[in-house]
Chains A and B, each alone.
Chain A
């Protein structure tokens, strides 16, 4: 910036016709685009000509008209009073006055601003976080007639747990019919979610893929495949291994495999919710299952380490 004489007072542009004509030309151009090409051409011409003269006037340094000098009071001839003389513009607060007006206004501005900010922000943030704390709806999964589950045979069963979510909710369970217990068929239903970090465990034995059977229930397609998990279940991610009851026998998992609640309704096998298992004593229908609330993978459910996870979110 060059320093010009008179820069200490506001500079007002002199009256000029060029910007006005330029604006009229632009309006004509835009209206003409809709109405008629001739109006548009005339507007463009007008804008070009007036724009050229406007730029020329600005760039050649037109005479600046000085406005009234800044900061000079309207009194005629009387010299301004220096700042340190005379009475203060704003009087000192009275001795007993504890909340001067400016202090009140400052507090009010900050307080109301914070209130508005909280009212706007908190519901939005809550909408992002709260879904993780809401009770989930119970799932009931119909797996079809129990005749598809012969006694003492393992099946890999994949099913859609929540039809409203579609394929993304497809889960896998290893199911064995243990035979009747007190007159009711009893099942071992083990989730394939590894208790280490949640990879899908695989059966340690042959899978009879060509004997896969598809049963259509109200939960969609249920795939049932015979399997012989002679070596239990093994996780491909980090080598966690489990026996046929889901007890951990080797590797990094901190507990056994989770299980599903089940019921036999009208001769059909229906899965309920998941629960975690501390350990299983015995096997088959006489197994004693130490059942606990569903925990995430990697979370201890017994021993002192379980104190690290005292409360579980709803699931």
Chain B
């Protein structure tokens, strides 16, 4: 008698604790979605090489957070931009640290992205059915490099100014559209006050927005298509080969049958 009371007491306690999660799950399905994302199946022989993508994402998140903090102190104006960067470095509490994280983290982000790209290339992870994700990844790379270009002007010292002059003029030598491309980048015929504000806006609003969207698409495809085994994988060698893609009927979009081992819901 006493034990049943105790059991029902602990049961109701557990129920109370999980009630908010249950409430959320019943109304949004978010808990199941997060569990599906975090606890999806991956091949058993994935290793450290497969963490480079997550590392790149982490570097990007560091850039986002430190960038938001820097924007609280930075002044995108030709007469005060350089002083405000000096102010961040020398006066703002831990400003040197946040600026350093953003400045060096930018290189880390790009380097990790290239390492991730090399891993995908050498493992052959760009092959069917993941070609589209390679293309999205290349778009992310180009967008991130543009982020680096626009961010380089913001300290507004001699290096920043002349590097941007050279970069814009190199764009200007592109055939036919080049002169106009350079004019659009400068926001006029000459580098002036508008150029700095324009680069700031592109650097902190336009390109990060595009990057977040592209990274979301990249992750969606990773989750949908699953992770590849390394090329030396014995598991993958024993696995039945992925079926040839079915030629779709002409004029119709037809979902191809799911390849074995490519994606499996936890419930299956």
Sample of 13 A–B contacts (CB below 8 Å): A59-B12, A129-B184, A132-B186, A166-B79, A168-B191, A168-B192, A198-B168, A295-B179, A298-B173, A309-B179, A312-B179, A313-B180, A314-B189
B131 within 8 A of A: no
Interface contact A132-B79, CB-CB below 8 Å: no
B194 CB contacts on chain A under 8 angstroms: 131
Interface contact A60-B165, CB-CB below 8 Å: no
A311-B180 Cα distance, complex, nearest whole Å: 9
A177-B163 Cα distance, complex, nearest whole Å: 33
Shortest C-beta distance, B187 to chain A (Å), equals 5
Interface contact B183-A299, CB-CB below 8 Å: no
A66 CB contacts on chain B under 8 angstroms: none
Known: A197-B166, A296-B182, A297-B172. A136 touches B26 (CB 8 A): no
User: Which B residues between 178 and 220 are near A, CB-CB below 8 angstroms?
Assistant: 178-180, 182-194, 198
Interface contact A61-B179, CB-CB below 8 Å: no
Which one, A59, A128, A312, contacts B19 given CB within 8 A?
Answer: A59
Interface contact A313-B189, CB-CB below 8 Å: yes
A129 CB contacts on chain B under 8 angstroms: 184
Interface contact B176-A308, CB-CB below 8 Å: yes
A128-B205 Cα distance, complex, nearest whole Å: 13
A169 CB contacts on chain B under 8 angstroms: 190, 192
Interface contact A237-B166, CB-CB below 8 Å: yes
Interface of B is mostly: helix
Which one, A133, A167, A200, A299, contacts B172 given CB within 8 A?
Answer: A299
Interface contact B179-A298, CB-CB below 8 Å: no
Interface contact A299-B178, CB-CB below 8 Å: yes
B169 within 8 A of A: yes
Shortest C-beta distance, B71 to chain A (Å), equals 20
Q: Could you give, for residues 158-173 of chain A, a 1 whenever the CB lies within 8 Å of some chain B CB and a 0 otherwise? A: 0001100111110000
Count chain A residues whose beta carbon lies closer than 8 angstroms to a beta carbon of B.
Answer: 38
B193 CB contacts on chain A under 8 angstroms: 165-166, 168
Interface contact A297-B169, CB-CB below 8 Å: yes
Which one, A58, A132, A296, A298, contacts B187 given CB within 8 A?
Answer: A132
A41 within 8 A of B: no
Shortest C-beta distance, B190 to chain A (Å), equals 7
Interface contact A131-B187, CB-CB below 8 Å: yes
A197 CB contacts on chain B under 8 angstroms: 165-166, 169-170, 173
Interface band, chain B: 35 or more
Please indicate which of the listed interface residues A161, A165, A166, A168 has the most CB atoms of chain B within 10 Å of its own CB.
A168
A297 CB contacts on chain B under 8 angstroms: 169, 172-173
A74 within 8 A of B: no
Known: A132-B180, A295-B179. A167 touches B79 (CB 8 A): yes
A87-B33 Cα distance, complex, nearest whole Å: 41
Given A132-B180, A197-B169, 9 new contacts (CB under 8 A)? A1-B25, A165-B192, A165-B193, A296-B182, A297-B172, A298-B170, A299-B172, A308-B176, A308-B178
Interface contact B15-A61, CB-CB below 8 Å: yes
User: Which B residues between 143 and 177 are near A, CB-CB below 8 angstroms?
Assistant: 162, 165-166, 168-170, 172-173, 175-176
Which B-chain residue is minimally distant from A238 (CB atoms)? Answer: B166
Which one, B79, B180, B192, contacts A133 given CB within 8 A?
Answer: B180
Q: Could you give, for residues 166-184 of chain A, a 1 whenever the CB lies within 8 Å of some chain B CB and a 0 otherwise? A: 1111000000000000000
A55-B23 Cα distance, complex, nearest whole Å: 13
B170 CB contacts on chain A under 8 angstroms: 197, 298
B168 CB contacts on chain A under 8 angstroms: 198
Shortest C-beta distance, B24 to chain A (Å), equals 11
Shortest C-beta distance, A129 to chain B (Å), equals 6
Interface contact A131-B178, CB-CB below 8 Å: no
B22 CB contacts on chain A under 8 angstroms: 1
B198 CB contacts on chain A under 8 angstroms: 128
A59-B25 Cα distance, complex, nearest whole Å: 16
B175 CB contacts on chain A under 8 angstroms: 308-309
A198-B165 Cα distance, complex, nearest whole Å: 7
B16 within 8 A of A: yes
B141 within 8 A of A: no
A60-B170 Cα distance, complex, nearest whole Å: 71
Known: A61-B12, A168-B78, A310-B176. A198 touches B169 (CB 8 A): yes
A140 within 8 A of B: no
Which B-chain residue is minimally distant from A2 (CB atoms)? Answer: B22
A61-B188 Cα distance, complex, nearest whole Å: 68
A166-B193 Cα distance, complex, nearest whole Å: 9
Interface contact B192-A296, CB-CB below 8 Å: no
Interface contact B172-A298, CB-CB below 8 Å: yes
Shortest C-beta distance, A176 to chain B (Å), equals 25
A169-B188 Cα distance, complex, nearest whole Å: 13
Which A-chain residue is minimally distant from B186 (CB atoms)? Answer: A132
A315 within 8 A of B: yes
